[in-house]
Amino acid sequence: MNASIIIPLYNPDNEIINKIKKAIKNQKFDGKIEILFQKGKGLAENINDGINKAKYELIITLHQDCIPVGEKWLSKLVEPLKYREYVASVSDVELPFSLWNSFDPIAKILSSKEQRIITPLLDEKGCAYKKSALKKVGLFDKKKFRTAGEDFDLYIKLSKIGKLAHPHTKVIHYNYYSAKSRLKKEYQLANGFGALVRIYGGEMPSWYMGFIKATPVLGWILLFRGLNISKLRSLILIAPLALLLAHFQYIRGFWKGFLIGRQTV
């Protein structure tokens, strides 16, 4: 089995890129590996360009700030794709405590729910796909999703033609947030979710949560559920303000995406 690893780039950190290269070089993988660094106007477009250029049937997407863990990360990730019924395989993602602990207070509060090991339904942080399956569903939808929502859109499409595996391989996500960048991210993600709800309606798991979170006051209360209180004892007094700012961004982003029917932020 040979694999094409696509790494979309946008103002990358060269130190992290070098660590990614080293991690890939150290993989104990029974096959050839090619690495494609892709630049473009948006995340979905970058990845699609890489897929079209890729030489091999196994497509791996790896974000520019995600470092694979262990020498068998790749072999374990692609193992399920040997079976006909599987079309994609997904890595777990961990935001390291040391990085999270260096965030400013607002960024720390808003990303507290991510300071753990997460098993995504599907994203591009460290995923493997069959190229034939991607082609069958039309690749990532770069017209409706530029930088958010394209992963869930693909999850829905791939789920209709095959199974997705979660073999519990892992990548470490070195994404530094400031208050400003985190609030921008909240706006971006909400914008993508609003577009997804407009497009798929009831096909979206928990689609109704988007409307609740985008409702004044109710959404602000709901955001408290995502807090990791045990990690935020010293910041609990400013948490309501941080969540109010995030709630405002969610309202703006969700309704813009929902009304337009595509992700624009």
- Quick: pLDDT tens for 51-99: 999 999 999 999 999 999 999 999 999 999 999 999 999 999 999 999 9
Gap between the Cα atoms of 59 and 159, Å rounded:
17
Residues 6+ positions from 71 with CB-CB distance below 8 Å: 26, 27, 28
Domains of the chain: 3-260 (3.90.550.10)
Task: Say whether pLDDT at 249 is over 80.
Answer: yes
Give me 11's structure tokens.
Answer: 């103002």
pLDDT of res. 154: 97
pLDDT of res. 40: 79
| Distances in whole angstroms, Cα of residue 41 to Cα of each of 9, 44, 142, 146 | 10, 9, 10, 8
Residues facing residue 62 across a β-bridge: 126
Radius of gyration of the chain (CA): 18
pLDDT of res. 34: 97
What is the value of pTM for the model shown? 0.93
Percent of the chain with pLDDT over 90: 88
pLDDT of res. 228: 78
Sign for the pseudo-dihedral over CA of 78, 79, 85, 86: negative
Task: Say whether pLDDT at 226 is over 90.
Answer: no
Is there a contact between 107 and 141 (Cβ–Cβ < 8 Å)?
A: no
Task: Say whether pLDDT at 225 is over 90.
Answer: no
Q: What is the dihedral of CA 65, 206, 48, 74, to 10 degrees?
A: 50
pLDDT of res. 103: 97
User: What confidence tens digit (pLDDT) does each residue in 136-183 have?
Assistant: 999 999 999 989 999 999 999 999 999 999 999 999 999 999 999 999
